[in-house]
Structure 1
Amino acid sequence: MSTRAERQAMTRTALVATARTLFLDDGYGATSLDRVALEAGFSKGAVYSNFKSKEELGLAVLDEIHREMVAEVVEAVGVATTYDDAINGLEGWLKVRLGQPRWTALEVEFAAVVRTSPFVATELAARHVQIREAIAALLLEIGRRTGMRLVLPADQVALALLSLGIGMGAQRSLDPTIDVHAFTATIRSLLLPPEAG
């Protein structure tokens, strides 16, 4: 027998999963909360008992996507024992993930909400800080393991890499033939191999 809290958590999970599919397939703007509720098999009241607004649901969807992407990057480079392994692992992830049209379109469309919502602007900014902190921590960990050196402080390298990823991701979502080599070359200019012994 599940408790009320467990049922609410299950409802919330189902709503986020349904919203994610709809937002990625049809777009954030084109998806109503009524449709999310209907497709998930709940009332609109269930949506509002879990989320104060559509924007809050959108943030929950992006949080889930961001957690998955960060986990994938950590998996791609987290066990690297050499500089080249780390760079090659990241390049492999970039080739597959950077600029996926549905994910990128959702990110861009949702960010446009910032123009009219101080709440979303504040929340997205806070999330980007968390992502940059995760990137910086990963860079420092890889550096400890492989001897990789950063040309700037880790937080600045993380900001540069996230910014480059967002920009190149937007470009690749429109033109998937864009090679990630430019990204990898930039990475190699910011993350240097160990000094020769």
Structure 2
Amino acid sequence: MARLTRAQSQARTRERLVATARQMFLHDGYHATSLDKVADTAGFSKGAVYSNFRNKDELCLAVLDDIHAGHIEEIAALVVGKTPDEAVTALAEWAERMVGDEGWTMLEVEFAVHAHRDPGLRAELAARDKAVRGAIEALARDWAERTGPAGLPPADLATALLSLGIGLGIQRVIDPGIPVRVLTDTLRALLAAPDRQPT
């Protein structure tokens, strides 16, 4: 077996650190997880962490990037090329599993509160939120091109769905009995409504 190049080795170390940090952040939370604990659990020195990430904030951003990319990929696989009804039915099943997932929801909330007092970190989170909205908007545009416009322009639909999903996720952490159908019923109503974009 050929030896890994330095770049390949560093990439592998980074992937392992992100995977380990993801597991720990989701289980224990952002503040309770130290870089020492991540390094030890992943089988590396703390120096290996610092050679890949400037600090815990940067590591957490990498974890959130990993989570968001996975979710967007899953959702795209469920909705691309499907009729709106098929897509919303598949999305409802995904949302039932994921909206209100305690580890993910609380990590997002805890890190957002942490980032609130740091303008640079807040800007990093805002850029990531914009990217997620952009991915949802692209899916909404695909639907609109194939099936006709919804009750909101794609960008507004993306913002509305993301905001509703975040709020519903927090509510479901507190009360798991709150039905996720609120999200999908809203989506169905918006997809069925005529386009009301201002002229």
TM-score by length of 1: 0.93
Matches within 5 A, 1:1-197: 1-80=3-82, 82-145=83-146, 147-192=147-192
Contact 2:151 2:193 (C-alpha < 8 Å) held by counterparts: no
Residues 137-175 of structure 1, C-alpha deviations (whole Å, 9 max, x = no match): 001112323x14212211011001100000001111222
C-alpha RMSD of the superposition: 1.6
SS at the partner of 1:30? coil
Instruction: Map Cα deviations across residues 33-56 of structure 1 (whole Å, 9 max, x no partner).
Output: 011111111111110110011000
Mapped partners of 2:44, 2:167: distance in 1: 37
Q: How many residues align?
A: 193
Q: Report the identity percentage.
A: 52
Structure 2 Cα separation of the partners of residues 193 and 160 of structure 1:
15
Structure 1: runs of 5+ lacking an equivalent: none
Q: Cα gap change, 1:89/1:181 in structure 2, threshold over 3 Å: closer, same or farther? A: same
- Runs of 4+ residues deviating >3 angstroms: none
Query: What is the TM-score with the length of structure 2 in the denominator?
Result: 0.92
**Cα distance in 2 for residues equivalent to 1:73 and 1:192:** 20
Gaps of 5+ in 2: 195-199
Distance in structure 1 (CA, Å) of the matches to 2:171 and 2:37: 31
Q: Which residue of 1 aligns with 2:197?
A: none
User: Which AA in structure 2 matches 1:84?
Assistant: D
CA-CA distance at 1:79 after TM superposition: 3.2
8 A contact 1:24–1:106 mirrored in 2: yes
CA distance in 2, matches of 1:148, 1:23: 41
